[in-house]
Structure 1
């Protein structure tokens, strides 16, 4: 090895006149180097192996600090709850060989250095250690006070939360027994009373919903205070609880591949097992007890009974009296009254006509452009219609059975809306009102004729708007 390279310090590569005091070949030094450095220092013949005095002192200092921290952490793991029992551990740095050599060579110089240290300098050297001890003592006192406070009043936080919840419930609901009308100042006492006196489960009712758990009551009250608390950020639909919102996101905004429960018949995925079990019922055929027609499922049978045999549509628009089979259809209709188009319009690729939604487009193509469409004749009045759909509309409007009977005078009607308007003539109730002059009537047809004759400009404007919404 070149003499010039041999004299270089292995760590700092400083070729200055620093006297080397250790070597990386020394076992004790190699152990310290492995602790301080994550990388290895290989013993190569072409590399220097000596370590200067300054680098050796730094390695000793870092190794001492590393061992101190390690022992302190071992104490925390052994006694994590008792901070008072912890003791400050300090690893004293062992003198390096070069330091011992310097002590042997010049003991007088070491004594001179000690003599030069003043009392103030010694005091300054002790300050950091005292500061650490004070911090540990302060932390231990704080933890002790917190433990003592919990021992004195372990249920303080819980009691405060319960009192706050009871106050919120009292502000919005009447906490009284549904059996004996006795009032209570908390939901917990109501539950105890109903369980003991009536052998029943205590509950509160709001918005036609019955709640048996306090957490659900609080959640429902919060939905009144902040209606958008459980709002879907993708479709802006609001829900009454976090669980309902989470389930909505899993069902509507999660791709089918990410849903773990798959239907063996149709391959549709579901986020919950119980949803899959409910879905299986849609694959069980059901037979109509009146006309003996076999429907695809129980839900399809229910729709069939409402539309074909009972005609009892419970969803009626308060503005125009139009009936709908489903609540969703009524909500879409109400949005149209408000000037909001709830369904995206699509264009027919054959005749370029705009219709509302894909379902209407499918019906349009089937009834207008299908090659299977052939003229059909009504078996009652022998009138000819272009397809079966048109014939069905004709029969339901003209040849339907008058099965809706007025309980007051016995008169029968083909549709429930006609019975509702007729019944209003007995009760004197006004079902409709003109949005221009406020004229009241119980007939939708009369309201239409009134607006057309008395307010032709407004009627024409509303008709143009309806046509624009329908055909784009």
Structure 2
């Protein structure tokens, strides 16, 4: 037996499907089923687009008062739901339920552009913006644009100088954990990615991809200030900081400032007791490879003078 009806101005079709034991009411918009017709009517408001319940904290709108009540937990700071796997806490049970999919290892949602798999559809949706040309989130510090707000948020940590992830091998610190994980491959000595042109090997595939551009001879990125051309946009971006004269990266040890974060990173090795670069001739150790190179060259100069 089928019972169909229309709701108010939206004319949302409701389909009541009866079975031998349980009568289920199915929404023809999304196929979601409900045990009661009243529940289905309440749900139909979601598809109507009407959101009458507003959060006084952030202005976000909701179709149901219940959803607003759940949302307010986020602003309260109370997180009663804890993940047994990693200890991460959540304000809402739904947030924990979605999070648990990450630990399950199940990734049902696939990106048609690059084939990458995701545990949650919302994560796939965010990822798809990377393939889009639209980048609406801009860093006020350096002008870099991002497709996702999360990308901008993570990027801002660089300007903040926050580096909580330290390499136990060499003492180098990183803003993001994934950068530390990638860096650790360097110490492993494993280089599985080989350039077919010159035979040079790389620890990471992305480094090989960037390297291949060198052999192409194409330099599509030009500096409007001095006309210098670059193979990669990232190289041009780093180069532009020279013309800006801005030194946003400061050493907390001595106060010296740098144009680039990479320069600050190299400088920090001076303050570290770690000296991984050793001269095979005299045994003297150095914090940076460039210092070792200068040291070796000084030996050669002395030999030439003799």
Same fold (TM over 0.5): no
The structure richer in strand per residue is 2
Instruction: Give the TM-score, by structure 1 length.
Output: 0.31
Instruction: Give the TM-score, by structure 2 length.
Output: 0.43
Specify the structure having the higher radius of gyration (Cα): 1
The structure richer in helix per residue is 1
